[in-house]
Chains A and B, each alone.
Chain A
Amino acid sequence: MIETNDLSKQFHDFMAVDGVNLSVQAGQILALLGQNGAGKTTTVRMLTALLQPSRGSARVAGYDVAKNGSDVRASVGVLTEHHGLYMRMTALEYMDFFGQVYSLAPALRKSRTDNLLEYFGLAEAAKRRIGEYSKGMRQKLALARAMMHEPSVLLLDEPTSAMDPESARLVRDEIARLKSTQRTIMLCSHNLTEVELLADKIAIIYRGRILIQGSLDELKRDVLGVPEYSVRFAEAWNTNGLELPKGMELLEKTPTSLKVRVEAPEDSNPQLIQRLTSMSAPVVAFQEEMRTLEQVYLKVMASARGKEYVQ
Chain B
Amino acid sequence: MFNKLRLVWLVAQRELRDQFRDWRVLIPMSILTLCFPFLMNEFAKQTVDFLNQYQANLILDRLVPFSIMIIGFFPITVSLVVALESFVGEKERGTIEPLLTAPFDDWQLYFGKLLVGAATPLIASYISIGLYLILIIRQGLDMPSASVMLQLFLLTTAHAVLMVSAAIVISVQSTSVKAANLLASFIVIPVAILMQGEAVMLFWGNERVLWLGIAGVMIIALLLIRVGIAHFEREYLLGREIDTLNFKWMAQTFWKNFIGGAISVREWYGRVVGSSFRRALPAMGLMILVAAVSVWMSYDWTMTNVSETVANASPEDLTKLQENIAELPDLSSLRGHLSAPFLFLNNTRSMAVIFLAGMFSFSVLGVLFYMINVALIGGVYAFLQLLGVAPLPIFIAGVLPHGMFELPALLIGSAVVLYIGAGLVTPQNGKSMGEVVIELMADWAKIFVGLVVPLLAIAALIEAYVTPTILLRVIGN
**Which chain A residues have a beta carbon within 8 Å of chain B's beta carbons?**
11, 45, 48, 50-52, 70-71, 73-74, 76, 78, 80-89, 93, 97-98, 100-103, 142, 145
Contacts and interface: CB of A to CB of B under 8 A. Distances in A.
Contacts of A87: 93
A70 B105 CA distance: 7
Given A50-B101, A80-B101, 5 more contacts: A11-B239, A45-B238, A50-B100, A80-B94, A86-B18
A84 B10 contact: no
A76 B100 CA distance: 12
B3 A103 contact: yes
A103 B98 CA distance: 16
Given A50-B235, A88-B18, A100 B10 contact: yes
22 contacts: A50-B238, A51-B234, A51-B235, A51-B238, A70-B104, A73-B103, A73-B104, A80-B97, A80-B101, A81-B97, A83-B94, A83-B98, A84-B96, A84-B97, A84-B99, A85-B95, A88-B17, A88-B22, A89-B18, A97-B14, A98-B98, A101-B10
Contacts of A98: 98, 102
B78 to A, nearest CB: 17
A286 B22 CA distance: 65
The 9 closest A-B pairs by CB, nearest first: A82-B94, A74-B103, A84-B95, A84-B98, A80-B97, A88-B21, A73-B103, A78-B101, A84-B94
Contact of B98 (A51, A70, A74, A145): A145
Contacts, number: 72
A142 B98 CA distance: 9
A76 B98 CA distance: 11
B103 A78 contact: no
Contacts of B99: 84
B195 interface: no
B22 A76 contact: no
B218 interface: no
B21 to A, nearest CB: 4
B400 interface: no
Nearest to A103: B3
Nearest to A80: B97
B7 interface: yes
Contacts of B97: 50, 78, 80-82, 84
B101 A97 contact: no
A150 B95 CA distance: 21
Contacts of B94: 80, 82-84
A93 to B, nearest CB: 8
A50 B234 contact: yes
Contacts of A101: 7, 10, 102-104
B139 to A, nearest CB: 42
Nearest to A97: B14
Given A82-B94, A86-B18, A97-B14, A73 B238 contact: no
B95 A70 contact: no
Interface in B1-48: 3, 7, 10, 14, 17-18, 21-22
Given A80-B97, A86-B95, A88-B22, A51 B239 contact: yes
Contacts of A142: 98
A279 to B, nearest CB: 62
Nearest to A100: B10
B177 to A, nearest CB: 16
Interface in B81-124: 93-105
A80 B98 contact: yes
A145 B21 CA distance: 22
Contacts of B22: 88
Contacts of B430: 52
A186 B177 CA distance: 33
B109 to A, nearest CB: 11
Contact of B101 (A76, A89, A103): A76
Nearest to B249: A12
A134 B474 CA distance: 90
Contacts of A52: 235, 430
A98 B10 CA distance: 10
A48 B21 contact: no
A82 B99 CA distance: 12
Contacts of A73: 101-104
B98 A78 contact: yes
A21 B95 CA distance: 30
A102 B99 CA distance: 11
B103 A102 contact: yes
A51 B104 CA distance: 15
A97 B104 CA distance: 13
Nearest to A157: B97
Contacts of A84: 93-99
A102 B239 contact: no
Contacts of B14: 86, 89, 97
Contacts of A48: 101
Contacts of B105: 70
Contacts of B102: 73, 98, 101-102
Contacts of B93: 84, 87
Interface in B220-239: 234-235, 238-239
Contacts of B98: 78, 80, 83-84, 98, 142, 145
Contacts of A102: 102-103
Contacts of B238: 45, 50-51
Most-contacted residue by chain A among B17, B96, B98, B105 (CB, 10 A): B98
Contacts of A78: 97-98, 101
A97 B7 CA distance: 10
A158 B97 CA distance: 15
Nearest to B96: A84
Nearest to A98: B102
A64 B392 CA distance: 67
A26 B95 CA distance: 29
B241 to A, nearest CB: 10
Contacts of A83: 94, 98
Contacts of A97: 10, 14
A35 B234 CA distance: 25
Contacts of A89: 14, 17-18
Most-contacted residue by chain A among B7, B100, B103, B238 (CB, 10 A): B103
A260 to B, nearest CB: 50
Nearest to B19: A88
A96 B105 CA distance: 20
B314 to A, nearest CB: 70
Nearest to B10: A100
Nearest to B430: A52
A103 B3 CA distance: 9
B146 to A, nearest CB: 42
